[in-house]
Amino acid sequence: MIDASRHEALRRWDAERPLPLSVDLSAAATRGARRRRRWLTLRILVAALLTTALLVVAHDLHRPDHRTAVPATSSAVTPTGASAPPPTTGPATRPTKVSATPRTKTSAPLVVTAPTTGRPTAGRAPVADLTIAPRTGPAPLDVAMDASGSRPGPAAHVTAYRFDFGDGTVAGPQHDPVTKHEYATAGTYQVTLTITDSADASATMTRVVMVTGTAEDGSTGTPTGTVAPTS
């Protein structure tokens, strides 16, 4: 009786206890499912990468610059002088851009102008300049004349000054550019300056002096027979 009840207890305990085999099978099934999912994911990634690579290669092959062009052969001349037949036209090729050499801009020669020093430039004649003070007043009128502003020709110097006072008297030729003259009677007088330089070139300039009558006699105007020139 004791053996029967002990046997029954052992049977129930074996029935209630989970079998190690079933646990191992469940864990193995779980691991297998995970491996299959990983393998499926890996296959999908590999297929996507291969598809992308094939599309890129196909696109590059269809670009015009990847087409095979038939090299152009130059028209060779045969010994008899006849030209060789033209080369066979191949598929259309994309023209190759040739970088042109930048054209250098030729600049005009630089011309440096020397600063003006007051002297005449090459090829210019001498210039006479006369300053008179005063140019008008009652008789007798003392007038100072200055020709120092005159300029000789290039590479030369003034050698002589000649003053024609317009009343029949003359001063010079002289080396001094400054002189004085007294007009004793009323009238309009034309004063002419003539300069000569070391290159034997000359220049003239004319000024006008107007002399009025004296305060005592009240006479004014131009003496008889004298024509007043235009200044």
Asked if the model's pLDDT at residue 226 lies above 50, the reply is: no
Q: Are 92 and 70 in contact (CB under 8 A)?
A: no
**What are the sequence ranges of the domains in the chain?**
17-61, 131-212
Distances (CA, A) of 37 to 40, 60, 206: 5, 35, 121
Asked if the model's pLDDT at residue 179 lies above 60, the reply is: yes
Q: What is the pLDDT of residues 6-27, one digit of tens each?
A: 777 777 766 666 555 455 667 7
Banded model confidence at residue 223, pLDDT cuts 50, 70, 90: very low
Q: Print burial letters for 56-73: b (CB count within 10 Å at least 16), e (below 16).
A: eeeeeeeeeeeeeeeeee
Domain 131-212, CATH homologous superfamily name and number: Immunoglobulins (2.60.40.10)
Number of alpha helices (DSSP H) and beta strands (DSSP E) in the chain = 2, 8
Q: What is the pLDDT of residues 50-107, one digit of tens each?
A: 999 988 888 878 776 555 554 555 444 444 555 555 555 555 556 555 555 556 555 5
Strand partners, 207: 191
Q: What is the pLDDT of residues 93-148, one digit of tens each?
A: 565 555 555 565 555 544 444 444 444 444 578 999 999 999 999 999 999 999 99
